[in-house]
Structures are given as C-alpha cells and as structure tokens.
Amino acid sequence: MVLDDTLRKKLIASVEDGFAEQIAYTQDLIRLQSVRGEEFVIQDRVFNELRNRGYAMERFDMDREAIGRHPGGSPFSDDHSRAPIVVGTHRPRDEAGRSLILQAHVDVVPPGPESLWTHPPFDPVIEGDWLYGRGGADMKAGHAANLYALDALRRIGLQPAATVYIQSVVEEESTGNGALMTHLRGYKADAVLIPEPEDEKLVRANVGVVWFQVEVRGLPVHVREMGTGANAIDAAYRIIGELRKLETEWNARKAGRPNFENEEHPINLNVGKIEGGDWESSVPAWCRIGCRVSIYPGVSAKEAAAEIEQRIAKFAREDSFLSNIPPLVTFHGFHTEGYELPPGSEAEKVLADAHLGATGKKLESFMTAGYLDTRVYALYDKIPALCYGPYSQNIHGFDERVSIASLKRITTAMTLFIAEWCGVELATPE
C-alpha cells in the first residue's frame, strides 16, 4: 500500500511519542552483558517483551547436525553459544500485505580492558547525542528499533496486514549460525530487514568471513643454547608474513568486481589472537595465532580455506624449521560466503521512500567489509535482504556509541517501511 500524508504524519508522531521508552529499553539491553555464551538472560528478557505484546512465541536451540550439513554452516567449537534463539510472530486477521522478517542479534564482542573506556562498557551513559555502551550500536539499538517500530503502529491502533517474524539470534559475531538456524527452522518471508549500524545507508555488498588458527610447534631449549632449538613464536611471525602476501594477492583480485574494485582495501586479514610459550627463559615450543580473513561474494569459504591451507603448507615446506614440524591449520567460527544485493527490488524502493520520508534525503548504498546475517536470506532464501541502520562510532572498539538522533530517524524509516511493505489493518476489529 502507498501511505497517504495523514497516516505518514501519524506514524512519525507515534515514533516520537514512544522514543523515550525505546531509549530506556535499549539501555536495559546494554546493561545485560551478552558476550558469547552468556546470552541466556537477555534472550529471556526479549522473549518476555515479545510475549507481553501478544506475539506467538517460539524458543529453540541450535541443531548442530543440520547446521553442519548446510553449505552456509560454520564449525562448532567449545566456545559456541548454547543460548536459545527467540522468535515472535505477528499474524494478521487478513493476510493482505507482504510478509517480513525483522532480525537482530543480542551477542556482543568482548569489551577489552575497562580502563580504556570513558565509562564502564555496560553502563549505558548518554552524553549529548550519543548513547554509549558495548553492543549498544552493534546492535541493541537496532534490536529495540525492530520492536518499537511495530509498537508505533500499535500506538495508533494499527498492525501489519501481513505476517511479521521478529527474530532475536545469537552467534552473529562468531559463526552466523543463529540466523542460519532460523532459516533451517522454516521461517520464511517476502523480505528481511536487519537494522545493523550502517550509517543510515543500505548495504549493497558484503564480504564473507573465514576464521582459522595456525599452531606452530617447536623444540624447547634453554636460552643459552638457543641456536640449537627452534622458536615457535618466531616461526609464527614468518607465517603471518606469508599470510600478508596472500592478503595482498586477494585484494588485487578486486578488479572486475563492481562493488569492490573502487575500494582501496576490500579484503582484510586480522591476526586477532596470539599465544605461545611457557617460560621467559625457555625457547618457546609452541605458538598459536587466531586469524580472520574476508572473502569476496561468490567465493565459497571452502575454496578460501583450501587456498589458505595450501599456501601455508607450501611456505612450510620451504622453511628450514617448519619443514620438519609442519604447522597445524584448523578452521573454527565463521565459514561464510558474502553476498551482493541486486538493485531494483520493490523492497528497496519501499525502503528508499521510507528513508526519504524520515530523513528528507535520498537513500545511499555501499559495500561493507564486515560479516552480516543478511547473507542467509540473500543466498539461501533469495529474497530482498535489506541491512540498514543508525549512525555509530567505535563498534567493536572502546567507547562504542550510537547516535540517538540517527536512531530516531531509522526507527521512523522502519515504521514507514513496515506500514507500506506489509500494509496495515486495525489492531482491534471494529
């Protein structure tokens, strides 16, 4: 349906009326320290919020075997979250509009040393236009926006005239298995909207991600006889150097890829963890590095993993130390392909109109070099997968923060989008 000016104005005013409550709820979510594996409490809170609004509820666990069989599944490890997935379902009286998935994740990355934060990481302080806190931008602000965009309709006596699934997942920051599990569970719709912090832009293309570990083993000796041993940490640094060469080569492959060829450095290798050795005065016998690397859409994680393994094996054969004790390469966590959003869908047009109505500006699109759950719906449901959310700073860093004014604009755009995409009906029959 096309929104008339009167309804548009009512919806914009309704978002404003509920916005103070929305910010307070977002702050409550930030206070719940939902790092990987500790999302049980926040999922209980989300479940209750949805149930109290009358949505039909389901809570379910990951199906490890089903995920393992799927080409988009990532490997499980001892660190994999066992927290449940929560889905609330709105069903209209008359299925007249187009169905929609609204999804958000509750898991957040570790905050790092608290001493490097201006405010404690899980203390949702507001200063000026900024709401601070770990996970506030990525993506508890968007999580709350999903709920309060629907509330804005209810506040003026309306509801979507189509089925809407409100999905709260885990493992977005580690494997992407949470979103994949909702797909495997059978939740399907005509479009999906995920309000990640994307600076009020629509994501046009998104990289895939592969996580892997390289373990080097050496020969420990006393430092006075260091020349007779083999330093595993030194060897790990040599492997990192070779991986940097591979990163350079992958970046050169951007040629001919329209969404990537104008980016200076679309493929990033991050050596995110390193540990090794047992004693300052012993030559280290082991070293383990944990890495994350991005891949272009159309390149499978399996292909990328094979190239990484082959590259490290070839380098090891030519290294005087590593050729005797080859490094061990294991893949864990993300094992996901990227996606590209074809322009011209009706869902994108509706979002563009909603964005214009909420911000007064034309909707822009861009490529982002991080993982997004939208890949599940773009690749496997083959539906318009819209990732669009508020302006933020320092996500995954210290003093993570989200713009409050931007969040209001985004919530307004989402409300307008839902009303036009799904259509509306009276929440209570006359």
- Give the contacts of 196 (CB within 8 A, at least 6 positions apart): 138, 139, 142, 203, 372, 387, 388, 389
8 A C-beta contact, residue 166 and residue 147:
yes
Q: pLDDT value at position 385?
A: 98
Residue 29 has pLDDT above 50, yes or no: yes
Distance between CA atoms of 202 and 387, rounded to whole angstroms?
Answer: 6
Work out the burial of residue 175: count CB atoms within 10 Å of its CB; fewer than 13 is exposed, 13-18 middle, 19 or more buried: buried
Q: What's the whole-number average pLDDT of the chain? A: 95
Q: pLDDT value at position 242?
A: 98
- Token readout for 242 is 């070779």
- Give the contacts of 318 (CB within 8 A, at least 6 positions apart): none
Q: Residues 78, 82, 84, CA angle at the centre, nearest 5°?
A: 165
DSSP letter (8 states) at residue 266: -
Distance between CA atoms of 103 and 213, rounded to whole angstroms?
Answer: 30
pLDDT band at 222 (very low <50, low <70, confident <90, very high): low
- Token readout for 27 is 């702050």
- Give the contacts of 73 (CB within 8 A, at least 6 positions apart): 66, 67, 177, 180, 335
Distance between CA atoms of 366 and 259, rounded to whole angstroms?
Answer: 8
Query: For residue range 32-70, what is the model confidence (pLDDT) as tens digits?
Result: 999 999 999 999 999 999 999 999 999 999 999 999 999
- Token readout for 385 is 């997968």
8 A C-beta contact, residue 172 and residue 105:
yes
- Token readout for 61 is 């666990």
Mean pLDDT score, 172-187: 98
Query: For residue range 190-217, what is the model confidence (pLDDT) as tens digits?
Result: 999 999 999 999 999 999 999 999 999 9
Task: Give the β-pairing of 401-403 and 392-393.
Answer: antiparallel
Partners of 216 in the β-ladder: 287
Q: What is the percent of the chain where pLDDT is above 70?
A: 97
Mean pLDDT score, 169-181: 98
Residue 137 has pLDDT above 90, yes or no: yes
- N- to C-terminal Cα distance for the chain? 21
Residue 224 has pLDDT above 80, yes or no: no
Q: pLDDT value at position 280?
A: 87
Q: pLDDT value at position 282?
A: 83
Per DSSP, helices labelled H in 32-171 are 40-52, 64-69, 141-155
Partners of 328 in the β-ladder: 215
Pick the residue with more confidence: 320 or 270?
Answer: 270
Mean pLDDT score, 146-160: 98
Distance between CA atoms of 311 and 303, rounded to whole angstroms?
Answer: 12
Q: Is 163 helix (H, G, I), strand (E, B) or coil?
A: coil
pLDDT band at 305 (very low <50, low <70, confident <90, very high): very high
Q: pLDDT value at position 228?
A: 42
Q: What is the percent of the chain where pLDDT is above 90?
A: 91
Q: pLDDT value at position 320?
A: 85
pTM for the full predicted model: 0.93
Mean pLDDT score, 420-425: 98
Query: For residue range 394-404, what is the model confidence (pLDDT) as tens digits?
Result: 999 999 999 99
Query: For residue range 321-380, what is the model confidence (pLDDT) as tens digits?
Result: 899 889 999 999 999 999 999 999 999 999 999 999 999 999 999 999 889 999 999 999
Q: pLDDT value at position 321?
A: 86
Query: For residue range 85-122, what is the model confidence (pLDDT) as tens digits?
Result: 999 999 999 999 999 999 999 999 999 999 999 999 99
Q: pLDDT value at position 279?
A: 87
DSSP letter (8 states) at residue 35: B
The radius of gyration of the chain's CA atoms, rounded to the nearest angstrom, is 23
8 A C-beta contact, residue 267 and residue 307:
no
8 A C-beta contact, residue 92 and residue 160:
yes
Residue 227 has pLDDT above 80, yes or no: no
Q: pLDDT value at position 430?
A: 60
Distance between CA atoms of 411 and 319, rounded to whole angstroms?
Answer: 56
- Token readout for 2 is 């096309």
